[in-house]
Every structure is written in structure tokens, then in C-alpha cells.
Amino acid sequence: MAQKDLLGGALWEAYSKKVAARMDNPTNRGELTEADALKLGGKLVIADHGAESCGDAVRLYWVVDPQTDVIKAARFKSFGCGTAIASSDMMAELCVGRTVDEVAKITNIDVEKALRDEPGTPAVPPQKMHCSVMAYDVIKRAVALYKGVDLSALETETIVCECGRVSLGTIVDAIRLNDLKTVADIIHYTKAGGFCKSCIEPGGHEKRQHYLVDILRDTRAAMEKEKLHQQMVAPDFCSMTLVRKLKAVEKIFTDELRPMLAADGGDVELVDLKEAGGVWEVYIEYKGACLGCPSAGTNTLSSIEAILTQKLGENIKVVPS
């Protein structure tokens, strides 16, 4: 019995005092009517959202000034756990005085942070973060209703971690840019999977379309495939024969450099290729509008050299004739 009491006490301490207070005495619970909207000189908006995973539901009421799009009043009704009530209460409070477009940018993380007692201490335990997601989702529904658009028009990204609102694109980019190799790395860099953990792998409290283990596996596989492809189609420039070096440089001139310069009436010609102290000097001659152009020896020259070094290797220097 003592162990159970200890566990219950530890869990209770995982909630902030602000959450506890709003669980018992939410300050924005209630409803708004057409009469309230008329009195405030605004438009009444009522949006509903329910979470199938836990059975919670929330209804959000707004009165919006149609001239300025400012939300003049907000109320909510919630059916669910205390965390859902506290999150909905804070969500309604954050709406008041802001425009609909400003409120559309509020995330569940904003709601959770507003409920913290201390900036660095989470307001709720990780497994309850999904409750604040309802606040985010019902705001989106209210925005869609007010603007008269389909909800899908406001969702431009595929969300993997609902708790942290972390998108698929963000996770893939983080893996590629930082060469991440483990799920722990993904959690550290993006915070995805750091809350209720349902998005890490199958078997969590909510079924997901995408899981971090699969995203990591597929992205790493794609990276390895691209690496092998690059090694096969692009042998080391320094190990090529002189003839192959000239052909490789000329191909880049034809495929990328000339089309780039032609847009402004210019052109460039490969004159020679020489090795000097381990650096391959590419001699070029400008033509057309590039002749006499002030940027020919600065920005244009830098761009040409950047493209060649990116495609062929670092030991390349471009020399204008």
C-alpha cells in the first residue's frame, strides 16, 4: 500500500501547480452564444474536436471581430481528464486578444509551456502531452471554420510526433544534415518521440502512420544508396586522366555554367586545364555580356568555381584569361 501511495505522490508531483489549479478551477470554461457575439460586436465560431485514443473531447467558442480578425472572447467545454481541462483552459486564454492568423500559429508546446511553474520544468508528465494536442487541433478547426476553408488546407506537413508537432520533413532533414544514426539522436535533435513515445515504434498507445524506427531505417538506406551512386558515377577527379578531366569539366560547362550565364546574355569557354602544386587550374574565357561585366572577376567567378568544386572536388581554382 505504501508503494502505491509513493507512486501516486510521485505522479502528482509531475504536474505543475498551474495545471493542478486549472484542473479544479478552470477560469475560461463555459460557452458563448449569439447574444454574446452581438453584444461584443463580433462573429460566433464554435469548433469541436475529439481524440479517439483517449475519448477526450473539447468544444471551443470564439467571438471574433470581423473587421480586425481579433478574438475578443474565448471559452471552452471539455469532456475528459483533468489534463485536458487544464490544457483547454490555457488554450482559450492564449487566444484572447490575438488575431485568428496569430492564434493559428499556437502549438500544443506553447500551451504546455504556458502551464509551467518553472521554464525548464515540464508542466505534465510525457505520457499526458497528447492532451495538449487537442488544444492545438481544435484551434485549427476554429481557424478553418472562421476562414471558410477545409481543415486540410491548414495542414501543409505530415506530422509524425503529435505531442511535439514534429513533421516528417523535419525528421528526415535532421537525419541527413546531422548524420543521425539512432532513434536517441532523433529525439535529442528534434524532440520527436520525447513525450508519449507512441511515434518511436509500433505498440504505443496510439497507432501511427510513420514511426521513427522506420524513418531512420529508410532515410539511412537512401543516404547509403546515394553515396554508392555518387562513388560509381563520379570517380575521384584527381585520379582521372587529363582527357577525362577535360571532359568532366566541359560537361559541367555545357550542363550548368553556360545555361546559367545565358540567362543574362553571357557565355564562357574552357580554354585550358593545368596542375600547379596539387591544385587544378581551370582557365576560362568570358564571352557575350560577360565581357567587361564588373562581376565577371568577383561574383560570377566565385559562382563558377563553387559549382566546379562542388561537382569535382576542392582542389580546383578558376582562372580568367
- Residue 44, beta-bridge partner list: 63
Question: Rounded to an integer, what is the distance from CA 27 to the centroid of its chain?
Answer: 33
Contact 69, 101 (CB under 8 A): yes
* Catalytic status, residue 196: no
Measured between alpha carbons, how far is 42 from 64 in angstroms, rounded to an integer?
A: 5
With cell 481541462, the residue in question is 85
With cell 475528459, the residue in question is 80
CB atoms within 10 A of CB 3: 7
* Catalytic status, residue 54: yes
Measured between alpha carbons, how far is 87 from 51 in angstroms, rounded to an integer?
A: 14
Pairing of strands 316-320, 279-288: parallel
Query: Could you say which of 131, 161, 196, 290 is catalytic?
Result: 131
CB atoms within 10 A of CB 108: 24
Q: What residues act catalytically?
A: 54, 131
